[in-house]
Structure 1
Amino acid sequence: MLRQVLFFVFLLFFQFISAQYINVDDQRSAQDLVENVLLNNTGCASVSNFSVSGGNFGNGENSYGYFNAVGTTFPFQEGLILSNGRVNDIPGPNAGVISGSAINWAGLDANSATVLGENNTYNATTLEFDFVPLVDHMSFEYIFASEEYETSLMCTYSDVFGFLLKKASDPDSAYVNIALVPGTTTPVKVTTVHPQGSCPAQNEQFFDTFNGFNAPVDFQGQTVALIAESDVVPNETYHIKLIIADDQDDVYDSAVFLRAGSFEISTDLGDDRIISNGNPACGQEEITLDAGVADTYQWYKNGTLLNGEINQILTVT
């Protein structure tokens, strides 16, 4: 009987420990990660031209993928990961320095290196796609985590990452990095976001924590949840390149976590007013639908075009 009780306690303890760490899946395609993980509203959003590249570890493992952190203390419940090492090395515990880049591959492409001002890089992972926004502002949430968040390293060394945006429909458009310290034009890096160590603190309010042994992820430290954002022109095609790489050396892995459903490029007309949600429209109650951007629209009811309804705002009963 005692043996059974001890075995039961062990199982509970094992399940508790396992639940502390994120789960990852490094077999998702670029299209799946964008359409089914990153986007907030796939019904209205237009996305295309997906591609992803990263490490070839010779055994089917990848440097990009999906994560689920439900039941852990990680700030995002789920999303996608880009890393300069193996995604399968990222789940906790934080047992030591991970350096999944033993098999080196190419660093930043020439264009990205110029935009980010980094010329000595290795092990780049890049996710790219086109999108057509229906609103005049786009944004998404992310966290940067790194093994270089050590008091002896964070003043000097930082892997590089960026979210590079340009207007694809304009041949003269140049990439702009939107992964910036809030309120500045400074790129987010270990050396630009950290508490005091062997050098003065830099933008310390955007640093979250140094991770202990039982952290959900195997990184020494991470930023708070940050927002990448930019003004855009509705109905224009944009190209975005999400990229991370080792800088100066091929050790000390880093990763950027993008929150699922946070890529905002379409209009939110509000909650569905239906019986199953417990909030149906009552009687002759008027409901105002606002597309959010002044433009010409086509409104439909049950798949049928509403003739003459072309404005930004539609009132229905």
Structure 2
Amino acid sequence: MFKLFTIFLFFSCAMVCAQTIAIDSSVPVEELIETHLFDGCIEVSNVSSSVNGSVIGLTSFGTFSKSTSNFPFDNGIVLSTGNTNSAGNTVITANLNEGDTNWGTDSDLEDELGITNTFNATSIEFDFISALDKVRFEYILASEEYLQSAYICNNQDVFALLIREASSAGPYTNIANVGPQNDPISPGSIHPEIFGFCSAKN
């Protein structure tokens, strides 16, 4: 039996890559999900992005390819809290801080994760039907906050993959978790010991 699911993809942190990957931020959100997220046996519909960088004139989602880098994924989609093009194409050594407080968040993200006061969220919502009984999402969270020890221990940056049956009005379930407590994916939940600030986590 096929079940229809609604899924949200969220990325709420500044993205930076140590390698140069090729970014294309001109891909419409529907094509982004229908063509670049899934590979076979998935029917996608109702793709939308109501929370993203367009509110301040930025494109905060796009596609990437590893190009000539040794990036661990050949291609996929990028969600950012800034200009997606800043995640690749050229090396940027300055801190990225392209979002502002006019670019808000998504209430489903805050409700599911029990957090508040988040900004610069990029969310994409869509329904999908899978012909298979399992669906796998592979992702990498990249954040400048890994380089800033004062932020890594107590930040609210997060990646979430929220899912529920499309016919349900109930809450979403975040399936992007780590560790025995199912912590959300964030620099604050995955880091080595930061001497003088916090112990290692996950």
Taking structure 1 as the reference length, what is the TM-score of the superposition?
Answer: 0.53
Q: CA deviation at 1:102?
A: 4.1
User: Residue in 2 aligned with 1:268?
Assistant: none
Q: Give the residue type in structure 1 aligned to 2:184.
A: P
SS at match of 2:102: coil
Q: Which has the larger radius of gyration?
A: 1
Over residues 195-216 of structure 1, what are the superposed CA-to-partner deviations in whole Å (9 max), with x where a residue is unaligned?
A: 111321111xxxxxxxxxxxxx
Q: How big is the shift at 1:116? A: 1.3
Residues 83/38 of structure 1: CA separation in 2 closer, same or farther (3 Å cut): same
Return closer, same or farther for 1:38/1:182 CA change in 2, 3 Å cut-off.
Answer: farther
Give matches, 1:150-229, under 5 Å.
150-171=148-169, 173-181=170-178, 184-197=181-194, 198-203=197-202
Equivalent residue number for residue 11 of structure 2: none
Instruction: Report the secondary structure of 1:118's partner residue.
Output: coil
Aligned sequence identity (%): 36
Flag the structure with more relative contact order, 1 or 2, with Cα contacts below 8 A and sequence separation at least 6: 2
Q: Cα deviation per residue 1:162-218 (whole Å; 9 max; x = unaligned)?
A: 1110001234x3200011005542111111100111321111xxxxxxxxxxxxxxx
> Which amino acid in 2 is paired with 1:155?
C
8 Å Cα contact 2:56/2:103 also seen in 1: no
Give the TM-score, by structure 2 length: 0.81
After superposition, the CA RMSD in angstroms is 1.9
How far apart, in 2, do the equivalents of 1:73 and 1:160 lie?
25
* Contact preservation (8 Å) 1:22, 1:68: yes
Asked if the contact 1:89/1:100 (under 8 Å) is kept, the reply is no
Gaps spanning 5+ residues in structure 1: where?
1-19, 204-317
Amino acid at match of 2:102: N
Structure 1 stretches of 4+ with a deviation exceeding 6 A read: none
* CA shift in 2, pair 1:32/1:183, >3 Å: farther
Mark the CA change 1:104 to 1:88 in structure 2 (over 3 Å): closer, same or farther.
Answer: farther
Match of 2:74 in 1: 77
Aligned residues: 179
8 Å Cα contact 2:101-2:119 kept in structure 1: no
Q: Report if aligned partners of 1:57, 1:103 keep a CA contact under 8 Å in 2.
A: no
